């Protein structure tokens, strides 16, 4: 199958003031589109044609770096648009909140760890909440990598490439991450991925 760019699940203005129309226009229409186009070009004629996106991501890691980078970023962004919503953040669904407290200690500790992972990712990358061997864990990855290639299932991720926040926050990555957690996270989508992962 080839990669396609989905429409955003909300309008370009819907996430303001926490994420602007200009950021979404660049990030979705240009950056994500480039991963889709480059990924499709690199997929052609390879053993990965016809495989699912997750299979391409896992199979190309460490073997076909160009394809992996673009397929990984396509996977990450497909979910990223759904991890955001207008008037997001707020209460964490009970089932996930319970699991966060069980595995990480508290909701506050989770938020601190998640923001610290994003702040601590040197250069481009992502911060994650994922399920591995039945436990929730916070992690960070460089560039287009994600928890899939480390044997985990991502249920929440935040893009910390500068293209994700520089227009709105300039160099203030911690402020972007705090706004993400407090005002943008679509916990319904996290709950949906969690229920599929357990
Ligand atoms: Mn991005």
Give distance in angstroms: CA of 35 to centre of ligand 1: 9
Domain-located, residue 12:
no
Domain annotation covers residue 16:
no
User: Does the predicted model carry a pTM greater than 0.85?
Assistant: yes
Shared-domain flag, residues 65 and 144:
no
User: Given this model, what pLDDT does residue 19 score?
Assistant: 98
Boundary-marking domain end, from 82, 110, 131: 82
Domain end point (choices 58, 82, 106): 82
Rounded Cα distance, 56 and 34, in Å: 17
**Distance from the CA of 13 to the center of ligand 1, in angstroms?**
18
Whether 7 is covered by a domain: the verdict is no
Same domain, 115 and 33: no
CA distances from 107 to 68, 110, 116, 117, 122 (A): 33, 5, 14, 15, 25
Residue 28 belongs to some domain of the structure? yes
Same domain (yes/no): 177, 107: yes
Q: Which of 40, 61, 82 is the last residue of a domain?
A: 82
Ion ligand 1 neighbours, Cβ < 5 Å: 159, 161
CATH number at residue 182: 3.55.40.20
**Ligand 1 mean position, distance from CA 128 (Å):** 14
Q: What pLDDT does residue 43 have?
A: 97
Give the Cα separation of 64 and 174 in Å (integer).
Answer: 33
Query: 118 C-alpha vs ligand 1 centroid, how far in Å?
Result: 13
On whether both 99 and 173 belong to a single domain, the answer is yes
Specify if 131 maps to a domain. yes
Query: What is the chain's pLDDT, residue by residue, as a tens digit (198 residues)?
Result: 699 999 999 999 999 999 999 999 999 999 999 999 999 999 999 999 999 999 999 999 999 999 999 999 999 999 999 999 999 999 999 999 999 999 999 999 999 999 999 999 999 999 999 999 999 999 999 999 999 999 999 999 999 999 999 999 999 999 999 999 999 999 999 999 999 999
Same-domain check for residues 98 and 153: yes
Give me the pLDDT at residue 100, please: 98
| Helices and strands of the chain, counted as H and E runs | 9, 3
Torsion of CA 181, 17, 189, 152, to 10 degrees: -50
Examine residue 77 and state whether it is found in any structural domain, yes or no: yes
99 and 155 housed in the same domain: yes
| Domain of residue 163, residue span | 94-197
Number of domains in the chain: 2
3-state secondary structure of 24: helix
Ligand 1 centroid to 76 CA: how many Å? 8
Same domain, 70 and 26: yes
């Amino acid at each position: 199958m080839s990669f396609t760019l989905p429409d955003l699940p909300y309008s370009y203005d819907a996430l303001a003031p926490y994420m602007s129309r200009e950021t979404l226009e660049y990030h979705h229409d240009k950056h994500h589109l480039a991963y889709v186009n480059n990924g499709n070009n690199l997929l052609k004629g390879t053993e990965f044609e016809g495989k699912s996106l997750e299979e391409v991501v896992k199979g190309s890691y460490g073997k076909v770096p160009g394809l992996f980078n673009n397929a990984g970023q396509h996977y990450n962004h497909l979910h990223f648009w759904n991890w955001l919503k207008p008037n997001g953040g707020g209460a964490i669904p009970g089932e996930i909140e319970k699991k966060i407290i069980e595995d990480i200690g508290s909701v506050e500790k989770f938020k601190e760890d998640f923001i610290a992972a994003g702040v601590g990712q040197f250069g481009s990358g992502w911060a994650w909440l994922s399920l591995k061997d039945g436990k929730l864990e916070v992690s960070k990855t460089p560039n287009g990598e994600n928890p899939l290639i480390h044997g985990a299932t991502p249920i929440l991720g935040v893009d910390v490439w500068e293209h994700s926040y520089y227009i709105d926050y300039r160099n203030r990555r911690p402020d972007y991450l705090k706004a993400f957690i407090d005002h943008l996270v679509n916990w319904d989508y996290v709950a949906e991925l969690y229920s599929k992962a357990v």
